A and B are shown apart, each in its own frame.
Chain A
Amino acid sequence: MRPDGRAPIFFKNLMPANAFNGMTDYGIGIGLRVPHYNHILSEKPDCDWFEIISENFMVDGGRPLRVLDQILEQYQVVQHGVSMYFGSAEPLNREHLKKLKRLVKRTNTPWLSDHLCWGSVDGRYTHDLLPMPYTRAAAKATARKIREARDFLEVPIAVENVSSYAEFHVSEMTEWEFLNEVVERADCGILLDVNNIYVSSRNHNFDPFEYVNSVPAERVAQFHIAGHSKYERYILDTHDHPVIDPVWRLYAHAIGRVGKTATLLEWDARIPSFDEVHNEALKAGQYLENIESKTVAA
């Protein structure tokens, strides 16, 4: 055991599955996006798994559900949400949860993720992933909502760190301390987005490796990687470029701590061909192989 009481890294490397990703061993996936539907359905390309945006399929009928059912016949699918808003002050919306649960039953997603953020007030939705004030009161309230959602949905939940462009005076701790406080209180998993860590580290002047080193490795259910846009004075998380080298290095470091874990590339704007997106995602494979070889050596 390590001094902090957690299992040694080489041991976890042999056990990438954990309770927070439904004890699965998924490989490298990409986000399922409309421009790729026809290619996927007609060519049936190899792909370990797809991540779907839950909200796009929380509809009553039509092509979205038809496509989803066809995808489910061939591929493993994991649900990723953008509107649960665990950090919003208002209680969870029961109707929303019911719709989400119907989709969970349809997809059999082994785990479900959403963001550690807020985005709605008094029933009005910003459709953004707004950063939270990092306070103990906020952590407590957020963790309670995550637990409620998990109990209702009956599926493991992983919360994703968001990229951000603002910090609050009222914050009492760092973002990673807040993340840890929330996931420990909620006893939930983490979807660790290393691109988001990188983006926020540049926007807020912190060391992204310190963030990764502070995350409880045993709770990481999944990784996100993505590209972003660099402006003169800040970085915007646009998901419209390949992953840059510093983010790959951060990813390599992260899986070195966490072990082989389900990894997904997000590409949401100016989306190139399926093959281009998938090939970008598969670059993660060389880092995962390095981890595997180190594990064998250990």
Chain B
Amino acid sequence: MAGAVMRPLAAGGGMKRQWHDGRPMKNVASDFIKPNNRLTSFERLEIYNRQYWFRLKDCFYEDYPGLRAILGEHRFERMACAYLARHPSQSFTLRNLGRFLVDFLDAEPRWLGRLRGPALDMARLEWAHIEAFDNEARPALEIDSLLDADPADIRLQLQPHLTLLQLGYELDEFLIHVKQGAGLRTEASNAMEQPRTRKEGRRKRHLQPKTMFLAVHRHDDTVYYKRLHAGQFRLLSAFRAGATLAGACAELAESADANVAEVKSWFETWAALGWFCKLA
């Protein structure tokens, strides 16, 4: 029964008329499901088949409004069905439904058409948002506790809810616009600093390639997208990769992206946002 329930629907939105081996689906259904005086076995099984896909697609639509806006309804629908057929839920919670989406789209870009670049970036951003929403927040590290430590021994851990992204498009504002979010504090994010007056369609058409660095994180139970400079991104990425404080700073110094005063202010901001945490 599970195979029939999870099988993709026919083009018209009903259950497919033939089983994998070519048998009529009505025969397959009647083998194990009783009909009643109003519904055939096929129709009773079809209720579950349709419910399965409606439920999963609803969840997917809710989790990926930005990707939907970029791809358009029809392309998004086709992509979602292909993804969900390839990667049925393997988790007790629908929260994890999109866990493999970026890998899937990376491997099968045909679902994205000519919008591959922004669509793939948006999938990464929206998954980062999901992770930021309810991933663990460990106790923040008191930077003062590191004062006596040798920088060559210090490995700063980043919060599990923090994701660092290098994007090829300015998608943070686009996604915020799609979600109609408001009220982000500039203290935690600079994603709202520019006016949001253009229509979504015009925004989509005007998505121009532009490298940007983003930290997707949670602060006071709200998810924020904070833009980073290249140097900030490099430094934080080094920490995430396990570099020591000395090693990460040496690497940054080589690229000459920042001076000491700037780097100090970065650390102060990141510490204030609680991005550094103690080991699990």
Contact = CB atoms under 8 A, between A and B. Distances in A.
Interface of A: 55-56, 58-66, 83, 93, 96, 121, 123-128, 130, 165-170, 203-205, 233-234, 236
The 8 A-B residue pairs whose C-beta atoms are closest, nearest first, are A60-B136, A62-B134, A59-B134, A83-B92, A63-B221, A233-B38, A121-B2, A166-B44
Contacts of A169: 31-34
B88 A124 contact: yes
Interface string B35-71: 0111101011101100110011000000000000000
A62 B161 contact: yes
B102 interface: no
A126 to B, nearest CB: 6
A167 B33 contact: yes
A61 B89 contact: no
Nearest to A93: B92
Contact of B48 (A58, A61, A121, A166): A166
B135 A62 contact: yes
A69 to B, nearest CB: 11
Contacts, number: 102
Given A58-B93, A125-B90, A130-B2, 20 more contacts: A58-B92, A59-B135, A61-B136, A61-B161, A63-B134, A63-B221, A83-B93, A96-B92, A124-B6, A124-B89, A125-B89, A127-B52, A165-B48, A166-B47, A166-B48, A168-B34, A169-B32, A169-B33, A233-B39, A234-B38
Contact of B135 (A61, A83, A234): A61
Most chain B Cβ neighbours within 10 Å, of A58, A123, A126, A170 = A126
Given A83-B93, A167-B33, A234 B160 contact: no
A203 B47 CA distance: 12
A204 B36 contact: yes
Q: Which of A60, A61, A93 has the most CB of B within 10 A?
A: A61
Contact of A62 (B1, B2, B218): B218
A165 B44 contact: yes
Contacts of A93: 92
Contact of A125 (B36, B45, B91, B222): B91
A62 B44 CA distance: 40
Contacts of A55: 92-93
B37 A205 contact: yes
Interface in B85-138: 88-95, 133-137
A63 B134 CA distance: 7
A60 B135 contact: yes
B133 A62 contact: yes
B157 to A, nearest CB: 15
B14 to A, nearest CB: 15
Interface residues of B, number: 40
Nearest to B51: A128
Contacts of A203: 36
Nearest to A82: B92
Interface of B: 1-2, 5-6, 31-34, 36-39, 41, 43-45, 47-48, 51-52, 55-56, 88-95, 133-137, 160-161, 218, 221-222
A60 B160 contact: yes
A234 B47 contact: yes
30 contacts: A56-B93, A59-B135, A60-B134, A60-B135, A61-B160, A62-B161, A63-B133, A63-B221, A63-B222, A65-B134, A66-B221, A124-B6, A125-B88, A125-B89, A126-B5, A127-B89, A130-B5, A165-B44, A165-B48, A166-B34, A166-B44, A167-B33, A167-B34, A167-B36, A168-B33, A169-B31, A169-B33, A204-B36, A205-B37, A233-B39
A56 B137 CA distance: 17
B52 A166 contact: no
Most buried by A among B37, B43, B133, B134: B134
B94 A127 contact: yes
Contacts of B95: 59
B32 A168 contact: yes
A123 B135 contact: no
Contacts of B1: 130
Nearest to A58: B93
Nearest to A234: B39
Contacts of B133: 62-63
